[in-house]
Amino acid sequence: MDLKAFLRENVEAVEPVKVAVSKRMKDENGAPVPWVIGCISSNEDSILRKECTKTVKKGKKQSAEFDYPAYQTKLAVKCIQFPDLADAVLQDSYGVMCAEDLLNAMLLPGEMSDLAQAVTDINGFASFEEEVDEAKN
């Protein structure tokens, strides 16, 4: 067996994708403006997961609770390369002071769902439907 395929210089890079997340955000010609979404590393993902996991005490027992909606928002913010969600002018226009709040203010629930799917895809996570299909085969 040859390990060359696993060497960093031989691994195919994941290129950012352009996704029209919202039909409401249009350019001067009336076309939806695409967002640019990239992937993150496994280390960055681990940090996000830790940020979204809280220890909860129930009597004498402790358990970990994972806040999936918060994780999904933080992951999307980390992956969005355009628009710049840290831009003060953009945040001011929506009356918010952080990227997570800006994203939630900018998008409708369905748009957020479409964005989450694009973020999931580029980061190599299988969708629930794909897992079901794979289990059936």
Q: pLDDT of 83-129, one tens digit each?
A: 999 999 999 999 999 999 999 999 999 999 999 999 999 999 976 56
CB atoms closer than 10 angstroms to residue 35: 23
15-121 in CATH: which number?
Answer: 3.30.2220.30
pLDDT at 26: 97
pLDDT at 134: 61
Query: Is the Cβ–Cβ distance between 83 and 90 less than 8 Å?
Result: yes
Query: Is the Cβ–Cβ distance between 40 and 79 less than 8 Å?
Result: yes
Question: How do residues 19-39 score in pLDDT, each as one tens digit?
Answer: 999 999 999 999 999 999 999
Nearest to 38 by CA among 77, 91, 95: 77
Would you call 123 helix, strand, or coil by DSSP? coil
Mean pLDDT for 59-71 is 93
pLDDT at 59: 86
**Per-domain boundaries in the chain:** 15-121
Query: Is the Cβ–Cβ distance between 130 and 108 less than 8 Å?
Result: no
Nearest to 81 by CA among 37, 136, 26, 41: 37
Report the predicted TM-score, pTM, of the whole model to 2 decimal places.
0.85
Question: How do residues 38-57 score in pLDDT, each as one tens digit?
Answer: 999 999 999 999 999 999 88
Residue 131 has pLDDT above 90, yes or no: no
Would you call 10 helix, strand, or coil by DSSP? helix
How far apart (Å, rounded) are the C-alpha atoms in residues 44 and 18?
22
pLDDT at 37: 98
pLDDT at 126: 77
One-letter amino acid at 116 equals A
**Residues in contact with 101: Cβ distance below 8 Å, sequence separation at least 6, in sequence order:** 91, 94
